[in-house]
Amino acid sequence: MGPRSVRVQLGERSYTAHVGQGVLSTIADEIRQRLGKQPTRAFIVHDTGVPLAFLDELTASLRGVELDTSSISITPTERDKSIATLERVLGAMGASGHTRADPVVTLGGGIVGDLGGFAAASYQRGVPVVQCPTTLLSMVDASVGGKTGVNLSVGGDDPDARLLKNFVGAFHQPIAVAADTRMLATLPERHRRSGLAECIKHAMIAGGITGADLISETRAALPAVIAGDTDASARLIERSVALKGEVVSRDERETISGSGGVRMLLNLGHTFGHAIETIPGLTPDPSDSSLAPLHHGEAVALGLAAACRCAESLELCEPGVGDEVTGIIRDAGLPTVVAGLPDSEAILARMGSDKKASGGTLRLVLPDGRGRCRVVTDADRGAVVAGIDAIRA
């Protein structure tokens, strides 16, 4: 099956997300088509977890269209997704002679894509960026939509300093996306499963946006995707990217009110998930402490389960919605409960400092039916606690 393409419609800033085997090798030609003859070089922000063969392939293709290359390698951890690392990237760009005409190309998972994208948004007030995601999670979510950023550490050098997820950033749309499914074969199974959490999230909101039953489609695709079937993965990625592209085209900058506002729905599960993701020692398997910390997708999966139970407590949706979602999460091999959570007050405090809170008011995205969600402002505290307690092992 050949590569698939999804168009993200944003007027003059529209771009194409290419999905399939081998699309990494064709992205250099698209850069030339989009930017013309003016660029003379490209700066690659490379994930240390990506095999060097893919970096070599990308470098060779860029040089093949007469773009000199420089690169920097980034360790993809939440602690390294920082202002200090951003400064290191920007310094390397400046040292390379990068100009406003030259593109940044990210090659990695969501952390590297977010960080490299923010460097592109910041350098000389903005240079082009091309996203080449290498994990399932970044292919279906982080690479599309233009959200870039880094975490903010609160507490200085204290080892218990809190990380505020993605608190510093900018909207900066890519000029192209290349999701090469060959990368998926290089991922550990845990990483592939983590990416499925964002696919499940998209399925939970799709019915209210496009009318598509992505819940049934996603559940049916899970066995083949987990087994590493690249065609099944490409189809699932295409559906998720198309859904996200539709949301972004309607509401690029996540308005809170008005007739748009749909992009906020993409935060489903994230306010709960971000509150627990950086808690030290949490693991998807209580019997194996070596699996700590939680991966982003695992935290999102727990957040989705918590959101469902919170919605049921508020009587926004019938209990069957949560049962189906938790069943899909289990089918994906993702956790629906976690051991070692602190008390509910501590988690509520973390949720209150999430960047999705506004003026001290907590905003949650909660399901109000199968495949439909809505934003709920200042949900009853007891219902939120019920959501938290539902994911305690």
Place of tokens 């099956």: 1
* Segment 166-182 mean pLDDT: 97
Q: What is the pLDDT of residue 30?
A: 97
Beta strands 15-20; 4-8: pairing state: antiparallel
pLDDT at 156: 67
pLDDT at 159 (0 to 100): 54
- Annotated active-site positions, please? 125, 147, 198, 244, 254, 263, 267, 270, 274, 296
Distance of CA 357 to the CA centre of its chain: 19
Q: How open is the CA angle 140-141-147, to the nearest 5 degrees? A: 150
Q: How confident is the model at residue 257 (pLDDT cuts 50, 70, 90)?
A: low
Q: How confident is the model at residue 158 (pLDDT cuts 50, 70, 90)?
A: low
Domain range annotation of the chain: 4-186, 190-390
Of 373, 370, 375, the closest CA to residue 215 belongs to 370
Categorize the per-residue pLDDT at 259 as very low, low, confident or very high, splitting at 50, 70 and 90.
very low
d(CA 346, CA 278): 13
pLDDT digits (tens, 9 = 90+) for 329-344: 999 999 999 999 999 9
Most confident of 120-134, 179-193, 271-285, 352-366: 120-134
Question: Which residues are CB-neighbours of 142 under 8 A, at least 6 positions away?
Answer: 109, 110, 113, 114, 133
Taking 60 as the threshold, does the pLDDT of residue 367 lie above it? yes
Residue indicated by tokens 């200085």: 156
Quick one: average pLDDT of 194-203? 97
Fold of 190-390: Dehydroquinate synthase-like, alpha domain (1.20.1090)
Judge whether 268 and 310 are in contact, CB under 8 Å.
Answer: no
User: Each residue of 71-128: pLDDT tens digit?
Assistant: 999 999 999 999 999 999 999 999 999 999 999 999 999 999 999 999 999 999 999 9
Cα–Cα distance, 65 to 28 (Å, whole number): 7
Instruction: Write the single-letter amino acid at 362.
Output: L
Q: Which stretches of the chain are DSSP H helices?
A: 27-35, 52-64, 83-96, 110-122, 136-137, 189-209, 214-226, 230-250, 270-277, 296-313, 319-331, 344-352, 381-390
Mean of all residue pLDDT scores within the chain: 94
Q: How far apart are CA 226 and CA 233, in angstroms?
A: 9
Is it the case that residue 182 has pLDDT exceeding 50? yes
Residue 295 has pLDDT above 80, yes or no: yes
pLDDT, position 256: 58
Question: Rounded to the nearest 5°, which phi and psi values hold at 392?
Answer: -80, 130
Question: Which of 3.30.930.10, 3.90.230.10, 3.40.50.1970, 3.60.15.10 is the CATH number of 4-186?
Answer: 3.40.50.1970
Task: Bin 334: left if φ > 0, else alpha if -120 < ψ < 50, else beta.
Answer: beta
pLDDT tier at 359, thresholds 50, 70, 90: low
Which among 218, 140, 239 has a CA at the least distance from the CA of 183? 140
Does the structure show a pLDDT above 90 at 169? yes
Domains 4-186 and 190-390 share a fold: no
pLDDT for 282 beyond 90: yes
β-sheet bridge partners, residue 180: 20
pLDDT of residue 261 exceeding 80: no
Spatial separation of the C-alpha atoms in residues 393 and 277, rounded to whole Å: 16
The pTM of this model reads 0.93
CB-CB contact of 34 with 192 (8 Å): no
pLDDT at 160 over 60: no
Q: Buried (b) or exposed (e) across 1-15, using 16+ Cβ within 10 A?
A: eebbebebeeeeeeb
